[in-house]
Copies of this chain bind each other. A is one copy, B any other.
Amino acid sequence: MDLNVMFHPKSVAVFGSAGVGKLANVLANRLLDGGMNRVYIINPKGESVREAKGYTSLSELPAKADLAVIASPAKTVNDILENCGRSGVRAAVIISSGFSEVGNAEGERELTETARKYGIRFIGPNCAGMVCTHANLVATLETSPPSGGISLISQSGAIGGSFMSLAADDGVGIAKFISYGNGGDLTVLDLLRYLKTDDETRVAALYLETIPSGREFMHAVHDVSAVKPVVIVKSGRTNTGQRAALSHTGSMAGADVVCDSAMRQCGAIRVDTLQDLLDVCKAFATLPPARGKRVSIVTNSGGPGVMTSDKAETDGLLVEETSDCVKAKLREFLPSFAGIRNPIDLTVEGTGEQYGQAITTALEDSDAAIAIYIGTPYLDAMPVARGIASAAKKTGKPVAAVMQVGSDINESLIYLRKEGIPCFPSGERAVSSLAALARYEEKLLRSNEPCLVVTRPADVKKAFPEGENRLLEPVAMKLLRENGISVPDFVFSSEEEQAVQAVRELGYPVAVKVVSPQIVHKSDCGGVMLNIRNDEELRDSFRRMAKIGEGRDFKGIVAYPMLKPGKEIIIGLTSDPCFGPMIAFGMGGVYAEVLRDITFRVAPVSQNEAIKMIKEIKMYPLLCGVRGEAPVDMNALAEIIAKFSMLPFIYPDIREADLNPVFVYENGAMAADVRILGK
């Protein structure tokens, strides 16, 4: 079914008791107030609500209903859906609660089956409804906002209501609001994909407490954000917040650091609060693209200019000193006491014309501008607003306005909004939004890669023999080698004489380790001996290892040439409950332990993405060489990360694995130890 029918119905049937104060009554009123002309009420008594006539069944309606809004008791919903199906209604919003959220998964499954049978698509159950301002559709109890380009999909109805209330207070326009409740049919993914093709939506906003099917979610976000920005609040960031979210939604939550990596990887713009969500969406919905990070600040007061500059640096925007050429032009029309270095400070005497000219001129150097006006008794706000709007029009670049103080700024705010200039109550908030704009454009420029290289290769293999879930070190090393991951030469021998022959060929000196499925921490029990220099020492080491392995299924020894020490790296593979296989990268030793200087990606990653991971860790300068050292071989390291990240896809029976340490050198890198565990 084309979801357009759901969002642009010509007629709506509301199911439920229509008495005053009842849900269906409120919904009918909201629909009528919102401007929906054909609203029908259906309930056993056939009660009406205002001009919306009451009926006792769908079949009595004078015309077909395009959308059913169901607010009747849970036990009646499936029958209503059946009737809808038989009457040709193909879209429904099920407000009614009493389904999976209270353990009635069976009742919810029935709804889904009924809907499938008839080709009905529905939102809910247990949701706060939906809004499509462009279709005069207000099928929710929440605040009705003005019409515009922001669409919000929210896991929480109340958050949706709060968002629309903030938007209404700020005069910001909404295209759609969708509270998907339990997601019995249409999920956040379906809805997000719909927003991609929806011309009324300029920016997609999401509020989520849990992320369903992580990888599919990433693909959807990546896909949509190639066309329009996807801005997300994902709460439950902290342990405390997760506990609150769990007791509230009953869903599983993974680590937030993983979620954060995944969001960045698929191009989502993550923000922390609803206010941030609105600010950023407002900028995206109204402004032209920001082609770079240089921002000019034009103000009539030094203090706010300083604070805005501070925030700009914090958020990664560049407040560069004005170029000589622009300075010269500014001097032509600004008084000598005006500051022209950026911030450009017009002082309390700055006129509307000066604002306009200064912004236009400054934008010759910059990619975006923030105009700050602090009301003074000397100035009128309106001429300043006109100057700002004219500069924005003339330059075609993003200009954000900050208008503070004074009873006369309200008119200016209304004017600026009408002219498509987003207004913020502080320079800092303008900065956050422009920074998001600039980052999004930057992302668009470089996102020719898919966000996940591959999910399953054509033919998969088994890493583990039947019934086993731990690979012996030589087997694991062989698996790495077969998959192109650089490992040292090694020999495995189950008997002493064989070991001597093999190691002679390998060449002394060697390191020797015990091989036993029952010994995990080899060093702790003396199962590692270094610098074995000759046959005699090797025989001795073999016997010692056999002794250590006694009664613990001793398999033999593995011997490696002595490796020269390099920088110690850890690379790990884990599995997140939401996103599946994850790859982690960090410096080894105390860096990993104390600093937790580790970066994550949803696996697998390309070599390019692996290079980004390497550059992300705090200790990255150490890899670049400090105190005259040469930099390490980043490409060799990235190759190991990328190839290692493929393993869970080639071998789906791998649960987790780590290379600890990997030694990385000026030339080359090599996994010096490995652990691979099965499911």
What residues of chain A have their CB less than 8 Å away from a CB belonging to chain B?
26, 102, 141-143, 154-159, 161-162, 165, 207, 209, 233, 235-241, 243-245, 247-249, 272-275, 297, 300-307, 309-310, 312-314, 318-319, 321, 337, 339, 341-343, 345, 348, 374-377, 404-406, 425-426, 428, 590, 593-595, 618-619, 621-622, 626-627
Contacts and interface: CB of A to CB of B under 8 A. Distances in A.
A263 B246 CA distance: 39
A158 B301 contact: yes
Among A297, A406, A590, the most chain B Cβ lie within 10 Å of the Cβ of A590
A377 B158 CA distance: 12
Contacts of A425: 275
Contacts of A622: 590, 594
B235 A161 contact: no
A428 B273 contact: yes
A406 B168 CA distance: 11
Contacts of A161: 374-376, 404-405
Contact of A243 (B155, B233, B341, B619): B341
A427 to B, nearest CB: 9
B303 A236 contact: no
Given A207-B303, A622-B594, A343 B244 contact: yes
Contact of A309 (B162, B238, B345): B238
A586 to B, nearest CB: 14
A238 B316 CA distance: 11
B618 A240 contact: no
A307 B273 contact: yes
B590 A159 contact: no
Contact of A621 (B307, B345, B594): B594
Given A310-B236, A310-B237, A593-B621, A302 B426 contact: no
Given A307-B235, A314-B238, A343-B244, A618 B595 contact: yes
A310 B590 contact: no
Stoichiometry, copies per complex: 2
A377 to B, nearest CB: 5
Nearest to A165: B405
A64 B520 CA distance: 92
Given A143-B405, A309-B238, A244 B319 contact: yes
Given A162-B405, A339-B247, A426-B274, A155 B241 contact: no
Given A161-B405, A275-B426, A313-B241, A156 B595 contact: no
B244 A305 contact: yes
Contact of A304 (B159, B243, B247, B405): B159
Nearest to A301: B158
Contacts of A157: 301
A15 to B, nearest CB: 18
Nearest to A317: B240
Nearest to A348: B158
A306 B245 contact: yes
Contact of A377 (B26, B209, B236): B26
Contacts of A377: 26, 141
Among A297, A312, A375, the most chain B Cβ lie within 10 Å of the Cβ of A375
A238 B626 CA distance: 26
Contacts of A243: 309, 319, 321, 341
A306 B274 contact: no
A297 B240 CA distance: 12
B273 A303 contact: no
26 contacts: A102-B337, A143-B405, A156-B303, A157-B301, A158-B300, A158-B348, A158-B374, A158-B376, A159-B307, A161-B404, A162-B405, A165-B375, A207-B303, A209-B302, A209-B303, A233-B307, A239-B313, A241-B306, A241-B310, A243-B309, A244-B305, A248-B306, A249-B302, A594-B618, A594-B626, A595-B619
Contacts of A405: 142-143, 158, 161-162, 165
Nearest to A23: B377
Given A158-B302, A209-B306, A249-B302, 9 more contacts: A158-B405, A161-B375, A162-B405, A165-B375, A238-B309, A238-B314, A240-B309, A240-B310, A241-B309
Contacts of A142: 405
Nearest to A321: B243
A271 to B, nearest CB: 12
A646 to B, nearest CB: 31
A156 B155 CA distance: 44
B593 A306 contact: no
Nearest to A155: B303
Contacts of A155: 303
Among A143, A314, A377, the most chain B Cβ lie within 10 Å of the Cβ of A377
A248 B302 contact: yes
Contact of A319 (B240, B321, B626): B240
A539 to B, nearest CB: 31
A283 B594 CA distance: 37
A321 B209 CA distance: 19
A141 B248 CA distance: 51
A319 B239 CA distance: 10
A579 B290 CA distance: 41
A238 B313 contact: yes
Contacts of A233: 307
Contacts of A154: 303
In order of increasing CB-CB distance, the 4 nearest A-B pairs are A156-B303, A241-B310, A158-B301, A248-B302
Nearest to A168: B405
Nearest to A248: B302
A301 B249 CA distance: 11
A405 B627 CA distance: 59
